[in-house]
């Protein structure tokens, strides 16, 4: 039976890769995204709306429309996130810290609060949150992002414990460095902040992974499909790293 899947930040990058993966399974997919051009470019067959996950009213309207039309949701993926600034903590702007925490954590709160209500009523459901390997280790020069992504893992574990008795599973996916434009931007930002070449930052990221390589968006999407499959029925409260990253980071 086809599932009802909601994905935030789903008009590009990992969110879109996950949306495509669920579409291929024959599921109903609805995404929201803050980027109108990306929303306009989403493939046919999925529902896409412009909504900023940090805006309570806009998100409330988006989710209310889904609820009115679908009556609930089977899989909700809180995925929207931004990388935030790179640099030594004493050089960072408070506004950049706040924006990074807001998109990553406020957005997750608003999305999960809705998902918890509708899934408790259904007595079933899966919430996935996109954290990062930054939510498992202490990367230097990325304090806002690391703090936000550890926060996502904390939210995952608290929600899993709270919602488990109601038949709702909650897991985090922690991608490593994913090939694509987003990682290109992160590499460029870190290279500028550290005075290194982009090639050396890229090589350092790859070297710190057990597999010594970046991963693809499709590999991350495949982990979301697995967590939504019957084979993952007993998996909740977990933070699944999809990259084989070692703790050795410099
Ligand atoms: P991306 O920038 O390619 O895509 C993110 C999408 O989220 C974009 O379409 C963007 O418009 C949207 N978005 C940004 N702010 C938003 C907001 N306030 N409201 C709604 N939508 C918003 O990035 P991505 O790599 O696909 O990242 C997706 C998630 O994966 C993020 O949470 C990110 O932190 C996480 N992640 C990415 C990587 C990586 O290497 N790409 C690694 C680990 C974790």
Q: Which CATH number goes with the domain that contains 202? A: 3.40.50.720
Residue 130 C-alpha to ligand 1 middle, in angstroms? 9
Whether 145 is catalytic is yes
156 close to 199: Cβ distance less than 8 angstroms? no
Q: Is residue 189 part of a domain?
A: yes
Q: Is residue 129 part of a domain?
A: yes
Going by C-beta distance under 8 Å and a sequence separation of 6 or more, which residues neighbour residue 245? 133, 136, 137, 176, 208, 209, 210
Query: Residue 211 above 90 pLDDT?
Result: no
Q: Is residue 76 part of a domain?
A: yes
Confidence of residue 123 (pLDDT cuts 50, 70, 90): very high
The pair of three-digit structure tokens given for residue 120, joined into one six-digit string: 């408790």
Ligand 1 atom 1: residue of nearest CA: 13
Q: Is residue 249 part of a domain?
A: no
- The reply to whether ligand 1 has any atom less than 6 angstroms from the CB of 86 is no
Q: Is residue 250 part of a domain?
A: no
- The number of domains in the chain is 1
Q: Is residue 248 part of a domain?
A: no
User: Which pLDDT does position 26 carry in this prediction?
Assistant: 98
Q: Which of 137, 145, 150, 214 is catalytic?
A: 145
Task: Read off the pLDDT of residues 138-180 as tens digits, 9 standing for 90 and up.
Answer: 988 999 999 999 999 999 999 999 999 999 999 999 999 999 9
Alpha carbon 232 to chain centroid, angstroms: 19
Domain of 214 in residue numbering reads as: 4-242
Confidence of residue 52 (pLDDT cuts 50, 70, 90): very high
What is the overall mean pLDDT for the chain? Answer: 95
178 close to 14: Cβ distance less than 8 angstroms? yes
- The reply to whether ligand 1 has any atom less than 6 angstroms from the CB of 144 is no
* Residue 218, H or E segment: helix 217-227
Q: Is residue 24 part of a domain?
A: yes
- The reply to whether ligand 1 has any atom less than 6 angstroms from the CB of 80 is yes
Alpha carbon 145 to chain centroid, angstroms: 12
Q: Is residue 194 part of a domain?
A: yes
Q: How far apart are CA 59 and CA 104, in angstroms?
A: 14
Confidence of residue 246 (pLDDT cuts 50, 70, 90): low
- The reply to whether ligand 1 has any atom less than 6 angstroms from the CB of 53 is yes
| High-pLDDT (> 90) share of the chain, % | 87
| High-pLDDT (> 70) share of the chain, % | 97
Q: Which atom of ligand 1 is nearest to the CA of 81?
A: 32
């Amino acid at each position: 039976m086809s599932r009802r899947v909601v994905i935030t930040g789903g008009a590009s990058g990992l969110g879109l890769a996950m949306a495509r993966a669920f579409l291929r399974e024959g599921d109903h997919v609805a995404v929201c995204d803050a980027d109108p051009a990306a929303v306009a470019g989403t493939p046919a067959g999925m529902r896409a709306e412009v909504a900023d996950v940090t805006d309570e009213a806009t998100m409330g309207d988006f989710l209310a429309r889904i609820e009115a039309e679908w009556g609930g949701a089977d899989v909700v993926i809180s995925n929207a996130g931004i990388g935030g600034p790179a640099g030594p903590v004493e050089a960072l702007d408070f506004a950049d810290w706040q924006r990074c925490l807001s998109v990553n954590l406020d957005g997750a709160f608003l999305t999960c609060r809705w998902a918890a209500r509708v899934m408790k009523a259904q007595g079933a459901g899966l919430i996935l949150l996109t954290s990062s390997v930054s939510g498992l280790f202490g990367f230097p020069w990325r304090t806002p992002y690391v703090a936000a992504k550890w926060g996502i893992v904390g939210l995952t574990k608290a929600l899993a414990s709270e919602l488990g008795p109601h038949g709702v599973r909650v897991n985090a996916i922690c991608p490593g460095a994913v090939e694509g434009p987003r990682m290109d931007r992160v590499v460029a930002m870190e290279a500028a902040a550290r005075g290194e070449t982009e090639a050396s930052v890229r090589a350092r990221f790859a070297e710190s992974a057990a597999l010594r390589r970046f991963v693809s968006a499709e590999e991350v999407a495949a982990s979301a499909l697995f967590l939504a499959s019957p084979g993952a029925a007993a998996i909740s409260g977990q933070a699944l790293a999809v990259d084989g990253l070692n703790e050795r980071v410099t």
